[in-house]
Structure 1
Amino acid sequence: MLQGLTAEAVRRAYEVRKARSSFFPREGGVDVAVDGFAYSVTGRQEFPESTDPERSARLVVELAHGRPGRWRDRKSRTLEEALGVILGEIEARAVEDARRRQDEQQAGAEREVRWRAAMDVAKEQAVREQLAQVLREEAGCWQEAAVLSAYCMASERRIGELDGAVDESALDSARRWLEWARGYVRSIDPLSRLPKMPNTWEPTPEELKPYLKGRSPYGPERRG
């Protein structure tokens, strides 16, 4: 029976190979490959323990792929006569599997497009945050420089007020301190020189995660 199935499958240009595994004792099987999909067909005795010659001679064929398929020897039709039906079922399943594979590939391509679009948006937001962080740091330095600059101006006024009223060595020390302070203010004031566009870097996966809304930065098939 399996030889007949194999011969007909080969005639239809399908690949046939020995079944990878057996699930029942006293059974034989082949794998029929159609369009890259392999379908295991096994044949066995329906009643292997029966002492009735007629019952023990009955065979059952099973198609173990997706939904179950089973054919038995019956008076109205032998299994040899059902080989065309069995191959027809295999061909129908191959069509369904090919359609399912195409749908999965299309869905995967659509996920890839959506993921790449989300990655582009996430990169823009991550780079924006890099620039915003530099801006916050420079604004903080500018505020500190403004406070210290006001202190320097007040200190200069105070030195002028006490000129001639205190020891000259004390005034000299105050002037030296004021000079150092003004140099320090210039060094931290971001507006003491013309501001320039900060350098940015390629965001890391961890930097992208907050902007991906649960997606993974490592690929469309993974979750964050």
Structure 2
Amino acid sequence: MDVVVDGFAYFVTVRQEFPQSTNPERSARLVVEVAHGLTTRSGRWRDRKNRSLEQALGVILAEIEERAMEDANHRANDERKRLERETRWQAVVEEAKELALREQLAAVLGEEAGRWREAALIGEYCNALERRLGALEADGDEQPMGSQRSWLEWARRYARDIDPLRRPPGMPTLREPTPDELRPYLKGWSAHEPKRQAQP
């Protein structure tokens, strides 16, 4: 049978100690056992000449209550550890999100700086090309062709179009980081639940 104390169930068995005995006194002796569970204490009581199981009933019930108190303490400790682990995990996840979002911003910044640098370089090229075409005209040796002027105009328009500072950018719209983006910053924690990941 199960004996329940404060929500904890303890499996208790009552059986004959010597069921095969033909001696009526021996075959009438009983044994009560409480399943061990988390405790290392003994959970067995027997009929004895100097004490019957009925007399030990208070001791048996006290043992079950003691186990219930221990199990309640274990449960409270486990819950405290779970909450502490979850709090640590949430802090690590928040920090990982901040770092992953910073990476998103850095990537956008890198792209904008790259386009700005490219626009500046193309602008310098256009200035050099224009000086060269002007020098050719001034020397009178060679007249720039229409296609050369068209190329110069197109290159200047392209440089303006890719220059991110032409229309100064604002703060980019960020997206929620993926678990893969969080992983490098999680210090061994799972991205999905408050558990440590197995190290490869």
Q: TM-score, normalised by structure 1?
A: 0.79
Structure 2 residue identity aligned to 1:43: V
- For structure 1, the residue ranges without an aligned partner over 5 or more in a row are 1-29
Cα pair 1:41 1:63 within 8 Å, conserved: yes
**Is residue 61 of structure 2 the alignment partner of residue 87 of structure 1?**
yes
Alpha-carbon shift at residue 192 of structure 1 (Å)? 2.3
Alpha-carbon shift at residue 48 of structure 1 (Å)? 2.2
User: Which of 191, 194, 204 is the equivalent residue of 2:165?
Assistant: 191
Alpha-carbon shift at residue 47 of structure 1 (Å)? 2.1
Match of 1:39 in 2: 10
Match of 1:157 in 2: 131
Q: TM-score, normalised by structure 2?
A: 0.88
Structure 2 residue identity aligned to 1:72: R
User: Which of 51, 63, 70 is the equivalent residue of 2:34?
Assistant: 63
Structure 1 runs (4+) deviating above 6 angstroms are: none
More off after superposition, 38-47 vs 64-73: 64-73
Q: Deviations over 1:138-182 (max 9, x none)?
A: 112222222222111111111112224335xx5210000111111
Structure 1 residue identity aligned to 2:22: T
Counterpart-to-counterpart distance in 2, 1:137 and 1:51: 94
Cα pair 1:118 1:212 within 8 Å, conserved: yes
Counterpart-to-counterpart distance in 2, 1:56 and 1:166: 127
Match of 1:107 in 2: 81
Q: Which has the higher contact order (CA 8 A, sep 6+)?
A: 2
- For structure 2, the residue ranges without an aligned partner over 5 or more in a row are none
Counterpart-to-counterpart distance in 2, 1:92 and 1:100: 12
> Aligned with 1:158: secondary structure?
helix
Aligned length: 192
Match of 1:49 in 2: 20
- How well do the aligned residues superpose, as a CA RMSD in angstroms? 1.7
Q: Deviations over 1:93-139 (max 9, x none)?
A: 11111111112212222222222222221221111111111111111
Percent sequence identity over matched residues? 63
Alpha-carbon shift at residue 87 of structure 1 (Å)? 0.6
The residue correspondences of 1:110-129 to structure 2 (distance < 5 A) are: 110-129=84-103
Cα pair 1:159 1:171 within 8 Å, conserved: no
More off after superposition, 184-193 vs 150-159: 184-193
Counterpart-to-counterpart distance in 2, 1:154 and 1:75: 115
